[in-house]
Amino acid sequence: MMSAKTPEPVADLLYGMPEIAAFLGLKTPQARHLADKGTIPTFKVGKLTCARRTSLTKWLADLEASARRDR
C-alpha cells in the first residue's frame, strides 16, 4: 500500500503535450517550446512526450524559491 503523500505512479503521469500544457496552464505550443528547450522536466515514451505531475510541481516550486532569493 502506498502512503497518502506518494501519488500512484500512473496517476502521476501526464501523457502528451496537451495534458502537460493544461497542467501548467499553458497553450500546447508554449509547453512544447519549453520542453524542446529542456526548460521543463519531460521525457519520451516512444514518440510521446510525458511528464510527472510531481516533477512539474517541484520545478515550479524551485522557480518560485529562486525568484524569492533574487529579490
Task: Please tell me the pTM assigned to this model.
Answer: 0.80
Integer Cα distance of 43 and 26 in angstroms? 18
- pLDDT tens for 19-69 read 999 999 999 999 999 999 999 999 999 999 999 999 999 999 999 998 888
**CA gyration radius, the chain:** 13
* pLDDT-derived band at 70, boundaries 50, 70, 90: confident
